[in-house]
């Protein structure tokens, strides 16, 4: 199946040059020559030219500034033209009127990095952003403003919202970050998916939406504004699509281009949930369909998801990792083959860009019952030195049949389309890419078993001594958190107060304590009837722990669930202590100011001889937070505030303990994580940096798919992983938060788990695998590289698929563990030889690749020999990457 024919291509290549972004040397502070952004029905018009744009979603506070350059570079290398981010109001204005634009919240630094990389920025201000971020990004102090109602036609809310939006726009203007100032910002967003909840507010909803639009535009930022999921957006605001698929989306006006602000390439995860996975063949299909059917700007939500450090994760119950199954993983490593396959897709779309922008609309051709083509034709002016007109043509052929492949005839040729796939033909004849054929390598992520934390000399049996990079045998110490109110700042109130009204979200924890008197009659009644009194809580979120007389009676978790807990009460006075815990405040929905946390409705003791005891009106003593939090015993300077005692193995653990130790950083630059599989629930700090909440709640035992079939419409419960395993085991410790040795690790643990099996581990891609068949497409570079063209014709011998292997930076290929050109079977880490096998494969691949960071191998009989003539052959390679010590090897 020779996909590339002996065709004239050269005209085509010249055209490409015209559309590359010009990055010349510019005046200080400017990243581009100042340019304006407008739009028409087809696309954004950037500096006078329509553009087809690929955007990569990265949320700056979900990584450290030290990680930003690498993540942005990986986005650019993956084919992004634009970086997209929300802004995070509650991070920037933690206290009303007191702003934070430092460190992970240094949005100016982030925006400048984007510009310095020659990328554009789509800034989604919100300032309600959802984002699986605590309280959807809204500051919790907003709740305390008298008469406030969020996100509706409410004066107090509008004042605060406008204040923040203005603050951001003025900051960007002052830093010259808008396009017309030579900065990267090309688009702004106001509000976020407001259309989803607008009807909850009646006519006030529409009035608020219009106000928000007018307010935003009134700030004269000089670039267009968008509203996502807002079908009634005003004419002067672009309405955009957020979904798994947006190829059928049409904006609410024929004058607006088709923009996809959130292409959900994965999904978020909740504690106790399965891990979502969206197969790359389906994402590529969705993206290709979008551009096929007239789309012009697509943003991956997320391209890099990152980490919800501190207590920033949203609720209910969202986990600390925000990996999102994104092309760049939580640690900043490439997630393969996702990243590589999408990179190829983007390159193929870029090849079509001249025709896509030249045509005002596509020609539609029905190719079969579930097969269709869209063809873009137009005259292209080469804006190089010489003004020339070219006729260009690009086409997308889709097979939306979920089950069967199809052969279709298009412009006189026959094409085979795998099920649920799109072939991209940049010249309307030759296939450059098919969404279902993955040629990118797979990377198998490993974690080191390297560094044991103090374990009094003993090692886990599977650990080899040479793997212990930094043994540090200083012991653990512990300190017991008091159960119940502990401080001078506790207070007493007759009745149950709402959780957030008391904590202001300064801590997850709120203690409630009351005292009940039990008579001899009651005890006799229970003994005679062999029953126990019950504590009934009408409704509660997210976690409650119930202590009676200092002992834990039970715990419950859920989202506005009823709790019924049998308890032991003795004759006389009994202390009843409830600990209410939040695990991320609600981030989605209308009227969040009323959502609150903790308890709702009556709390009763039931099962008494003379009826129930209503505790709702009892006198309760309140205490916000933990004593250890209050005294900052996790901070480097303050950790001595606690009276730590040594905690040798075998010690009796308590519920609610703090543990402390020191550890040395693993050598090298690989990302570092903390393995908390052996723990229960709590929070963790390293050198005073809050790593986040942890919880080893397990995903359900079933409901995961062993085989993930990419075909058919994706939903977040399709292709899930991790059944029966803790939802999150590893917790990212950014390298920049570590020093070489003596790093302070402090853990607050709520259950009776002990810290002896905590490990510090590094993460890297040790094994890479790739599989490329003879009938795969030649590399996309062929379309723009003169070396393949001889006299305007592709020479046959050059037009062969190429397998590319690449280790992470700092690694090189140390060995070829499997290699076969022929008909090998199996999948990565389980390959085996087939009937047909070229015996020289392994030595040839070793010669080409070992010792190198990356290598490319032509998949062709001319390299490996034609062992079994007439059989379609596949090259399969499994290689091992090892750390390149010292200088990196030459390629
Ligand atoms: C952008 O548009 C404004 C207003 O129309 C105009 O004054 C300015 O010169 C334009 N800038 C560029 C770089 O085209
Ligand atoms: C443009 O035209 C000039 C003069 O006709 C010629 O010398 C030059 O090679 C042309 N450049 C290109 C890129 O075709
Ligand atoms: C929280 O406090 C506010 C006043 O600050 C009050 O209006 C509201 O009713 C309280 N919420 C609950 C659930 O008690
Ligand atoms: C307490 O919970 C139990 C178990 O659900 C129920 O039978 C009982 O009616 C509840 N009592 C009250 C007063 O809510
Ligand atoms: C109640 O006390 C009994 C006997 O001491 C004990 O076995 C049981 O675990 C206790 N139950 C609760 C809920 O505390």
Tens-place pLDDT, residues 418-471:
999 999 999 898 899 999 999 888 887 776 654 444 433 333 333 333 343 443
Residue 198: predicted pLDDT:
98
Question: End of a domain among 727, 743, 764?
Answer: 764
- The residue contributing the CA closest to ligand 4 atom 1 is 536
| Closest ligand to Cα 605 | 4
Pairwise CA distance, residues 733 & 320, whole Å: 12
Look up 193 and say whether it is catalytic.
yes
| 732 shares its domain with 607 | no
| 755 shares its domain with 835 | no
Whether 406 is covered by a domain: the verdict is no
Q: How many A from CA of 500 to the centre of ligand 3? A: 9
SS3 204: helix
SS3 617: coil
Q: Average of pLDDT values for 708-731? A: 95
Q: Average of pLDDT values for 33-39? A: 97
Alpha-helical runs (H) found in 19-50:
none
Phi-psi region of 228 (alpha: psi -120 to 50; beta: other; left: phi over 0): beta
Does residue 606 contact residue 531 with C-beta atoms inside 8 Å? no
Closest atom of ligand 5 to CA, residue 566: 13
| 678 shares its domain with 572 | no
Does residue 654 contact residue 283 with C-beta atoms inside 8 Å? no
CATH code: domain of residue 71: 3.20.20.80
Task: Note the pLDDT tens digit of each residue in 392-408.
Answer: 899 999 999 999 999 99
Whether 314 is covered by a domain: the verdict is yes
Whether 811 is covered by a domain: the verdict is yes
- The residue contributing the CA closest to ligand 2 atom 5 is 386
Q: How many A from CA of 387 to the centre of ligand 2? A: 10
Q: Check if 386 has its Cβ closer than 6 Å to any atom of ligand 2.
A: yes
SS3 82: strand
Using alpha carbons, select from 609, 626, 606 the residue that is nearest to residue 535: 606
Closest atom of ligand 2 to CA, residue 388: 14
DSSP string, 572-586: EEEEEEEEEE-SS-B
Closest atom of ligand 1 to CA, residue 47: 14
Q: Please give the backbone phi and psi of residue 200, each rounded to the nearest 5 degrees, phi first.
A: -65, -20
For residue 3, is pLDDT > 80? no
Residue 793: predicted pLDDT:
41
SS3 629: helix
Whether a cis peptide bond, with omega within 30° of 0, leads into 542 is: yes
Closest atom of ligand 1 to CA, residue 33: 13
Residue 388: predicted pLDDT:
53
Q: Check if 596 has its Cβ closer than 6 Å to any atom of ligand 3.
A: yes
Question: End of a domain among 593, 625, 657?
Answer: 625
Task: Note the pLDDT tens digit of each residue in 358-394.
Answer: 999 999 999 999 999 999 998 766 555 555 556 689 9
For residue 23, is pLDDT > 70? no
Residue 442: predicted pLDDT:
85
| Closest ligand to Cα 606 | 4
| 470 shares its domain with 542 | no
Q: Average of pLDDT values for 718-728? A: 95
Residue 391: how many other CB atoms lie within 10 Å: 11
SS3 765: strand
Using alpha carbons, select from 769, 689, 758 the residue that is nearest to residue 730: 758
The C-alpha torsion from 155 through 160 and 164 to 169, rounded to 10°, is 20
Using a pLDDT cut of 70, give the percent of the chain over it: 90
How far, CA to CA in Å, does 840 sit from each of 737, 776, 815, 844, 870?
Answer: 48, 21, 15, 6, 19
Look up 749 and say whether it is catalytic.
no
Phi-psi region of 628 (alpha: psi -120 to 50; beta: other; left: phi over 0): alpha
Pairwise CA distance, residues 107 & 68, whole Å: 11
Task: Note the pLDDT tens digit of each residue in 257-291.
Answer: 999 999 999 999 999 999 999 999 999 999 999 99
pLDDT interval class at 788 (50, 70, 90): very low
Using alpha carbons, select from 292, 238, 297, 375 the residue that is nearest to residue 81: 297
- The residue contributing the CA closest to ligand 5 atom 8 is 568
Pairwise CA distance, residues 718 & 266, whole Å: 11
| 458 shares its domain with 527 | no
- The residue contributing the CA closest to ligand 2 atom 2 is 386
Question: End of a domain among 719, 743, 764?
Answer: 764
Helix axes 107-116, 68-77, angle to 10 degrees: 40
Contacts of 241 (CB under 8 A, 6+ apart): 228, 229, 249, 258, 259, 260, 261, 262
- The residue contributing the CA closest to ligand 1 atom 3 is 36
From 14-18, 565-569, 605-609, the region with the lowest mean pLDDT: 14-18
DSSP string, 818-868: EEEEE--EEETTEEE--S-B-TTHHHHHHHHHTT-SEEEEE-SHHHH--SS
Per DSSP (E only), the strands in 411-476 are 413-417, 421-425, 433-434, 442-447, 451-452
Pairwise CA distance, residues 379 & 469, whole Å: 62
- Six-digit token string for 266: 């994965």
Pairwise CA distance, residues 646 & 206, whole Å: 62
H or E segment and range at residue 206: helix 203-217
Residue 890: predicted pLDDT:
30
H or E segment and range at residue 89: helix 89-92
Q: How many A from CA of 562 to the centre of ligand 4? A: 9
Q: Average of pLDDT values for 853-874? A: 92
Residue 448: predicted pLDDT:
65
Contacts of 217 (CB under 8 A, 6+ apart): 225, 236, 237
Residue 888: predicted pLDDT:
35
Pairwise CA distance, residues 284 & 148, whole Å: 44
Residue 649: predicted pLDDT:
85
| 67 shares its domain with 135 | yes
Pairwise CA distance, residues 693 & 113, whole Å: 30
Task: Note the pLDDT tens digit of each residue in 464-516.
Answer: 333 434 434 358 999 999 999 999 999 999 999 999 999 999 999 999 999 99
Q: Average of pLDDT values for 222-231? A: 98
pLDDT interval class at 672 (50, 70, 90): very high
SS3 163: helix
Task: Note the pLDDT tens digit of each residue in 673-683.
Answer: 999 999 999 99
Does residue 514 contact residue 287 with C-beta atoms inside 8 Å? no
Closest atom of ligand 1 to CA, residue 48: 14
| Closest ligand to Cα 563 | 4
Residue 380: predicted pLDDT:
66
Q: Average of pLDDT values for 825-847? A: 94
**DSSP, res 710:** -
Pairwise CA distance, residues 221 & 82, whole Å: 18
Q: How many A from CA of 33 to the centre of ligand 1? A: 12
Whether 3 is covered by a domain: the verdict is no
| 695 shares its domain with 826 | no
Q: How many A from CA of 538 to the centre of ligand 4? A: 9
Residue 461: predicted pLDDT:
33
Catalytic residue among 149, 160, 262, 330: 262
pTM of this structure: 0.92
Query: Which residue(s) pair with 832 in the sheet?
Result: 825
| 709 shares its domain with 815 | no
Q: How many A from CA of 565 to the centre of ligand 4? A: 10
Domain coverage including residue 755 = 443-481+630-764
Whether 62 is covered by a domain: the verdict is yes
Residue 638: predicted pLDDT:
85
**Residues 730, 736, 737, 741, CA torsion sign:** positive
Does residue 288 contact residue 396 with C-beta atoms inside 8 Å? yes
Sheet of 657-663: strand order equals: 645-646, 477-480, 657-663, 743-749, 681-686, 689-695
Whether 98 is covered by a domain: the verdict is yes
Q: Please give the backbone phi and psi of residue 123, each rounded to the nearest 5 degrees, phi first.
A: -105, 110
Whether 414 is covered by a domain: the verdict is no
Using alpha carbons, select from 608, 588, 534 the residue that is nearest to residue 564: 534
| Closest ligand to Cα 536 | 4
| 289 shares its domain with 328 | yes
SS3 406: strand
pLDDT interval class at 7 (50, 70, 90): very low
Q: Average of pLDDT values for 152-156? A: 98
CA max distance for the chain: 104
Q: Average of pLDDT values for 64-70? A: 98
Closest atom of ligand 4 to CA, residue 602: 14
State which of 545, 556, 564, 568 you would mutate to test the pocket of ligand 5, scoring each by most atoms of that ligand within 8 A of its C-beta. Answer: 568
- The residue contributing the CA closest to ligand 1 atom 5 is 36
**Residues 606, 609, 611, 614, CA torsion sign:** negative
> What's the number of domains the chain is made of?
4
Q: How many A from CA of 530 to the centre of ligand 4? A: 17
How far, CA to CA in Å, does 73 sit from each of 116, 304, 672, 856?
Answer: 10, 12, 20, 22
| Closest ligand to Cα 17 | 2
CATH code: domain of residue 835: 2.60.120.740
Q: Average of pLDDT values for 513-542? A: 95
Is the pLDDT higher at 495 or at 798?
495
Q: What is the mean pLDDT of the chain?
A: 90
**Residues at CB less than 6 angstroms from ligand 1:** 34-36, 180
**Residues at CB less than 6 angstroms from ligand 5:** 553, 566-568
Does residue 845 contact residue 859 with C-beta atoms inside 8 Å? no
Residue 162: how many other CB atoms lie within 10 Å: 17
Task: Note the pLDDT tens digit of each residue in 316-332.
Answer: 999 999 999 999 999 99
Residue 382: predicted pLDDT:
56
Using alpha carbons, select from 138, 236, 127 the residue that is nearest to residue 189: 127
Using alpha carbons, select from 170, 138, 278 the residue that is nearest to residue 595: 138
Phi-psi region of 252 (alpha: psi -120 to 50; beta: other; left: phi over 0): alpha
| 568 shares its domain with 639 | no
Q: Check if 387 has its Cβ closer than 6 Å to any atom of ligand 2.
A: no
For residue 18, is pLDDT > 60? no
Give the HSE-up count for residue 508: Cα atoms under 13 Å, Cβ half-sphere. 27
Pairwise CA distance, residues 446 & 708, whole Å: 21
Residue 261: predicted pLDDT:
98
Residue 353: predicted pLDDT:
94
Q: How many A from CA of 568 to the centre of ligand 5? A: 6
Q: Average of pLDDT values for 122-127? A: 98
| Closest ligand to Cα 568 | 5
Whether 413 is covered by a domain: the verdict is no
State which of 495, 501, 503 you would mutate to test the pocket of ligand 3, scoring each by most atoms of that ligand within 8 A of its C-beta. Answer: 501
Closest atom of ligand 3 to CA, residue 500: 1
Q: How many A from CA of 384 to the centre of ligand 2? A: 9
State which of 385, 388, 390, 786 you would mutate to test the pocket of ligand 2, scoring each by most atoms of that ligand within 8 A of its C-beta. Answer: 385
Q: Check if 610 has its Cβ closer than 6 Å to any atom of ligand 2.
A: no
Question: Three-state secondary structure along 118-145?
Answer: CCEEEEEEECCCCCCEHHHHCCHHHHHC
| 685 shares its domain with 787 | no
Using alpha carbons, select from 63, 82, 87 the residue that is nearest to residue 168: 87
Q: How many A from CA of 141 to the centre of ligand 3? A: 13
Closest atom of ligand 2 to CA, residue 14: 13
Catalytic residue among 132, 149, 193, 581: 193
- The residue contributing the CA closest to ligand 3 atom 12 is 498
- The residue contributing the CA closest to ligand 2 atom 14 is 386
Closest atom of ligand 1 to CA, residue 34: 13
CATH code: domain of residue 568: 2.60.120.260
| 805 shares its domain with 845 | yes
Pairwise CA distance, residues 579 & 694, whole Å: 18
CATH code: domain of residue 660: 2.60.120
For residue 548, is pLDDT > 90? yes
Residue 210: how many other CB atoms lie within 10 Å: 15
Q: How many A from CA of 715 to the centre of ligand 3? A: 38
Using alpha carbons, select from 344, 309, 360 the residue that is nearest to residue 330: 309
Residue 25: predicted pLDDT:
47
Q: Check if 565 has its Cβ closer than 6 Å to any atom of ligand 4.
A: no
């Amino acid at each position: 199946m020779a996909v590339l024919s002996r065709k004239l291509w050269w005209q085509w290549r010249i055209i490409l040059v015209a559309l590359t972004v010009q990055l010349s040397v510019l005046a200080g502070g400017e990243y581009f020559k100042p340019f304006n952004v407008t739009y028409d029905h087809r696309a954004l018009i950037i500096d006078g030219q329509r553009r087809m744009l690929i955007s990569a979603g990265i949320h700056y506070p979900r990584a450290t500034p030290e990680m930003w350059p690498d993540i942005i570079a990986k986005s650019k290398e993956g084919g992004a033209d634009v970086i997209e981010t929300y802004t995070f109001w509650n991070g920037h204005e933690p206290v009303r009127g007191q702003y934070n634009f430092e460190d992970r919240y240094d949005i100016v630094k982030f925006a400048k990095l984007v510009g310095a990389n020659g990328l554009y920025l789509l800034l989604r201000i919100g300032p309600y952003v959802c984002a699986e971020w605590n309280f959807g990004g809204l500051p919790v102090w907003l709740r305390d403003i008298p008469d406030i109602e969020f996100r509706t036609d409410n004066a107090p809310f509008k004042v605060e919202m406008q204040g923040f939006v203005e603050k951001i726009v003025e900051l960007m203007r002052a830093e010259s970050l808008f396009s017309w100032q030579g900065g990267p910002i090309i688009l702004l967003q106001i509000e976020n998916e407001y259309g989803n909840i607008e009807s909850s507010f009646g006519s006030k909803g529409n009035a608020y939406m219009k106000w928000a639009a007018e307010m935003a535009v009134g700030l004269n930022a000089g670039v267009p504004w968008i509203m996502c999921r807002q079908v009634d957006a005003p004419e002067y605001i672009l309405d955009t699509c957020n979904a798994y698929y947006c190829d059928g989306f049409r904006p609410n006006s024929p004058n607006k281009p088709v923009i996809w602000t959130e292409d959900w390439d994965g999904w978020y995860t909740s504690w106790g949930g399965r891990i979502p996975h969206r197969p790359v063949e389906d994402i590529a299909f969705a993206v290709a369909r979008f551009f096929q059917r007239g789309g012009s700007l697509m943003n991956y939500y997320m391209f890099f998801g990152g980490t919800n450090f501190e207590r920033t994760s949203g609720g209910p119950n969202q986990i600390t990792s925000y990996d999102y199954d994104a092309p760049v993983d939580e640690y900043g490593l490439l997630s393969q083959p996702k990243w590589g396959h999408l990179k190829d897709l983007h390159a193929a779309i870029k090849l079509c860009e001249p025709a896509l922008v030249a045509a005002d609309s596509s020609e539609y051709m029905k190719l079969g019952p579930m097969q269709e083509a869209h063809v873009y034709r137009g005259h292209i002016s080469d804006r190089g030195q010489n003004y020339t007109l070219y006729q260009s043509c690009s086409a997308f052929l889709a097979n939306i049949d979920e089950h069967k492949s199809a052969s279709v005839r298009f412009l006189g040729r026959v094409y085979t389309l795998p099920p649920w796939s799109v072939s991209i033909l940049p010249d309307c004849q030759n296939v450059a890419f098919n969404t279902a054929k993955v040629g990118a390598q797979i990377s198998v992520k490993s974690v080191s078993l390297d560094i044991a934390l103090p374990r009094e000399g003993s090692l886990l049996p599977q650990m080899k001594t040479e793997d212990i990079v930094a043994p540090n045998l200083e012991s653990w110490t512990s300190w017991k958190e008091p159960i119940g109110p502990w401080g001078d700042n506790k207070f007493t109130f007759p009745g149950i107060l709402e959780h957030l009204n008391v904590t202001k979200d300064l801590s997850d924890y709120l203690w409630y304590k009351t005292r009940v008197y039990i008579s001899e009659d009651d005890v006799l009644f229970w003994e005679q009837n062999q029953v126990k009194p019950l504590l009934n809580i009408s409704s509660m979120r997210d976690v409650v722990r119930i202590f009676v007389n200092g002992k834990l009676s039970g715990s419950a978790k859920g989202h506005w669930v009823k709790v019924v807990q049998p308890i032991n009460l003795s004759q006389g006075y009994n202390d009843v202590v409830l600990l209410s815990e939040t695990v991320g405040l609600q981030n989605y929905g209308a009227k969040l100011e009323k959502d609150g946390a903790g308890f709702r409705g009556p709390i009763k003791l039931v099962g008494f001889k003379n009826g129930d005891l209503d505790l709702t009106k009892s006198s309760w003593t309140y205490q916000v937070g933990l004593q250890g939090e209050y005294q900052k015993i996790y901070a480097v300077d303050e950790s001595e505030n606690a009276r730590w005692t040594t905690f040798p193995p075998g010690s009796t653990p308590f519920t609610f303990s703090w543990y402390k130790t020191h550890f040395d950083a693993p050598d090298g630059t690989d990302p570092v994580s903390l393995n908390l599989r052996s723990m229960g629930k709590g929070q963790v700090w390293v050198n005073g940096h809050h790593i986040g909440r942890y919880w080893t709640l397990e995903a359900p035992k079933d409901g995961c798919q062993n085989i993930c079939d990419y075909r058919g419409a994706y939903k977040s419960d399709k292709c899930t992983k991790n059944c029966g395993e803790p939802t999150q085991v590893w917790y990212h410790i950014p390298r920049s938060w570590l020093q070489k040795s003596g790093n302070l690790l402090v853990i607050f643990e709520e259950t009776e788990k002990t810290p002896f099996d905590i490990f510090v581990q590094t993460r890297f891609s040790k094994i890479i695998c790739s599989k490329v068949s003879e009938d795969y497409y030649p590399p996309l570079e062929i379309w723009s590289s003169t070396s393949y063209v001889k006299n305007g014709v592709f020479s046959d011998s050059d037009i062969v698929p190429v397998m590319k292997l690449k280790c992470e930076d700092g690694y090189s290929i140390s060995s070829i563990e499997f290699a076969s050109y022929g008909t090998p079977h199996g999948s990565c880490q389980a390959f085996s030889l087939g009937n047909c096998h070229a015996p020289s494969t392994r030595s040839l691949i070793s010669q080409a690749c070992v010792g190198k960071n990356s290598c490319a191998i032509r998949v062709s009989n001319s390299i490996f020999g034609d062992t079994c003539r007439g059989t379609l052959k596949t090259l399969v390679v499994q290689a091992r990457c090892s750390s390149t010590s010292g200088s990196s090897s030459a390629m």
